[in-house]
Amino acid sequence: MIVSSSPNAYLAVTLQWIGGLGSASFYLPFSRVRRWSWETYWLVGGWVSWIAAPFIFAYLLVPHFMQIFQQVSGHTLFWTYFFGVLWGLGSLTFGLTLRYLGIGLGMAVALSYTAAFGTMIPPLFAGKLPELFTHTWGWVTMLGVLVCLAGIFLSGAAGRAKEKELSEEKRTAVVREFNFRKGILVATFSGVMSSCINFGYAGLRGFNAVHGQNPITSAAAVLLMRHGGPKWADGLPTLIIVLAGGFTTNLIGCVILHLKNKSGREYIATSANIHAKNDRSVVRSSDDSENGKAEPTTEAGHFPKFATSTQLVSVPLLNNYIFSALAGIIWYLQFFFFTAGQTFMPPALAFSGWTLHMASVILFATLWGLVRHEWKGTSKKAHLMIAGGVVLLLVSTLIIGVVANLMKH
């Protein structure tokens, strides 16, 4: 078990990468969900990742953590929660981004905004950004951030090339509602809003002037010193508040979809009516979750014109809950490791941790795309571009990691 939070950039980078792997992988269990609407399994997974897991991990690792919420001001709690609500808007519209742009392009574009805003705004609010331009290590760190953004941009360009090279038939098969203009607008909104989770974690409206931390994190650090426990767990109580804000937004969005699609009974229904000739059209929403298609699995009146009958089939209820919960746990682990990694970053470079996290997310998402043959049929140019993007992301991680490691000497 990790028992110290002394600066250790190599360990910090490793933890950030593990978190990125979790973010890039969490949607895979959703592909095993059957005959549930998007809003159903999204909310089940969300309850686990945004409510249950944060409380359980804080309970296990931070003694008497509930005392923290009584010690900090309502002002701090409000702004931490508020930024979580804004992040929730980005989370909901991220699905639309993938629907209109596809995984490769959509994730790269949206996360480029998330990386840029989430990295630079916290030190700007804290008044520490000028320090970066008065030291050699600051210039080198900024170089690492710029290389990271270049890698994200190149990955997005590769995704755009991929979409252009596909025929209309293949394009609609991969991204059925591809719309570049609409997708870019949604991706911009989603990316900026998604960066707000880092604002809430950093406590933009309640900075501790000495440590540059959210006061909730500072109070947790004091509590851990007093009662014992891993020092790297001091950010877990902050996650409880900011993720609760995100859950609020997603809950409202999913309830609206339940009312619109009449899908609320799916949580307890053990059977569903499907078209006898086209069962695939019913289960596609779980399989298409990676493309952000929030389509109900049993919409009445939306069967093909040749439909003549429906068939009552069983719904694997336990299976759906297990895989939705697994997706939620994997999602939470991304921020569990991100939070732990931040405590090992030298304070002056803590802002770059968000860049490392976003870079690792795109890196692993790209690798998953290659494993799942999402780039099959594209040109050598597109393959070289995506390879170049991955290389730049790796280089940026090494630059920031090495500089941060030197900072402790």
- pLDDT for res 75: 87
CB 159 within 8 A of CB 105: yes
**N residues, the chain:** 409
Give the global pTM.
0.74
Which is nearest to 229 in space by CA: 53, 5, 14? 5
Measured between its terminal Cα atoms, the distance across the chain in Å is 24
Domain ranges of the chain: 9-299+308-407
Counting as low any pLDDT under 70, the low residues of the chain are 1-7, 9, 95, 99, 102-105, 108, 119-129, 131-132, 163, 166-178, 180, 202-213, 274-310, 346-352, 374, 397, 400-409
Per-residue model confidence (pLDDT) at position 170 = 59
pLDDT value of residue 169: 61
Cα separation, 325 vs 56, whole angstroms: 14
pLDDT of residue 214: 80
Angle at 81 between CA 216 and CA 123, to 5 degrees: 65
pLDDT at 307: 45
Q: Among 222, 218, 294, which Cα is nearest to 260's?
A: 294
Q: How far apart are CA 347 and CA 352, in angstroms?
A: 10
